[in-house]
Amino acid sequence: MAALSQSGGQTRRASGGLKRPAQIAVLRLWHALLAGGFVVAWATGDENTYALHQFSGYVVLAALVLRALMAAFSPAESLLRWPVLRRQQVMDWLRRGSGRNPLFAGLAVALLLTVAATATSGAVADWMTWMEHPHEAASDVTLAVIFAHVAFVFYQYGGRPWLLAQIRRIKDRFGGKSS
Ligand code: HEM
Ligand code: HEM
């Protein structure tokens, strides 16, 4: 996950505060906590496993608060600041077709927002039962964004040559049959 060093839509340089390798290590640890907590919470949503659901759900909520604190107290160029998606960056990427794909930052922002909506609505549902349905719906939307995120990461880091090779093989096979 060396790519976490670039989460933000553009490569960010380290300046002041933690050194760059330490920033990457912190982001990786944080990512493991968030993703691990989310997977456990998602798998334990029903009544029989509610205690574990509550615990892992609050771990996710705490991870988000921690991320907000890191973003607030890190210097401007730090990797630990919030990922941002700028219009100019999207336009440049579309025009030149090169550079960092803006979907990295777009998906990071979408993930942070949907995970936050799921964890917050869960905390409210703990007290107010009418929030259970919106909470379930939020977790479904988040899961879809996570699938898109994992597929995109796979495609960008190593999966693209494999996928293109499969497409070429299929094309060759069909081409071979028709000739
Ligand atoms: C096999 C599963 C996963 C893999 C391989 C993976 C990999 C990655 C990678 C490589 C990045 C950095 C992307 C970049 O360069 O910008 C990233 C960022 C991120 N991932 Fe995942 N991820 C996984 C699962 C998850 C899950 C389950 C969640 C949410 C619950 C999640 C939430 C995030 C968030 C919020 C970021 C943005 C980090 C930030 O800049 O604040 N990921 N992930
Ligand atoms: C971000 C992580 C979370 C995820 C992915 C998640 C996911 C889910 C899912 C899928 C359900 C539906 C389960 C079912 O009906 O089969 C559910 C229910 C519920 N969740 Fe969460 N949740 C999270 C965080 C939280 C938190 C922090 C709380 C606070 C304690 C919470 C409280 C609840 C409650 C009260 C229900 C209804 C339980 C029931 O119907 O018996 N969730 N959650």
The predicted model gives 153-167 an average pLDDT of 84
Class assignment of domain 2-178? mainly alpha
Identify which of 5, 25, 29 has the alpha carbon closest to the alpha carbon of residue 77: 5
Say which residue, 164 or 83, is predicted with more confidence: 83
State the pLDDT at residue 1.
Answer: 52
- Please write the tens of the pLDDT for every residue from 35-76: 999 999 999 998 899 999 999 999 999 999 999 999 999 998
Tell me, rounded to whole angstroms, the distance of Cα 92 from its chain centroid.
23
State the pLDDT at residue 4.
Answer: 57
Fill in the amino acid letter for 167. I
**For residues 145 and 81, what is the distance between their CA atoms, to the nearest angstrom?**
21
Please determine, for residue 2, whether its predicted confidence score (pLDDT) is greater than 80.
Answer: no
Contact in structure between 24 and 79 (CB atoms under 8 Å):
yes
Q: Where are the domains of the chain?
A: 2-178
Contact residues of ligand 1, CB 6 A cut-off: 1, 3-4, 6-7, 31, 34-35, 38, 83, 104, 108, 111-112, 115, 146, 149-150, 153
State the pLDDT at residue 155.
Answer: 87
Please determine, for residue 13, whether its predicted confidence score (pLDDT) is greater than 70.
Answer: no
Please determine, for residue 5, whether its predicted confidence score (pLDDT) is greater than 80.
Answer: no
Contact residues of ligand 2, CB 6 A cut-off: 38, 41-42, 45-47, 53-54, 57-58, 60-61, 115, 118-119, 122-123, 125-126, 132, 135-136, 139
How deeply is 123 buried, as exposed, middle or buried, from its count of CB atoms within 10 A (0-12, 13-18, 19+)?
middle
- Please write the tens of the pLDDT for every residue from 105-147: 999 999 999 999 999 999 999 999 999 999 999 999 999 999 9
CA Rg value for the chain: 20
Identify which of 52, 81, 62 has the alpha carbon closest to the alpha carbon of residue 119: 62
Ligand number, closest to the Cα atom of 9: 1
Q: What is the Å distance from ligand 1's center to 142 Cα?
A: 13
- What's the whole-model pTM score? 0.87
Tokens linked to 102: 């803006």
The predicted model gives 154-166 an average pLDDT of 83
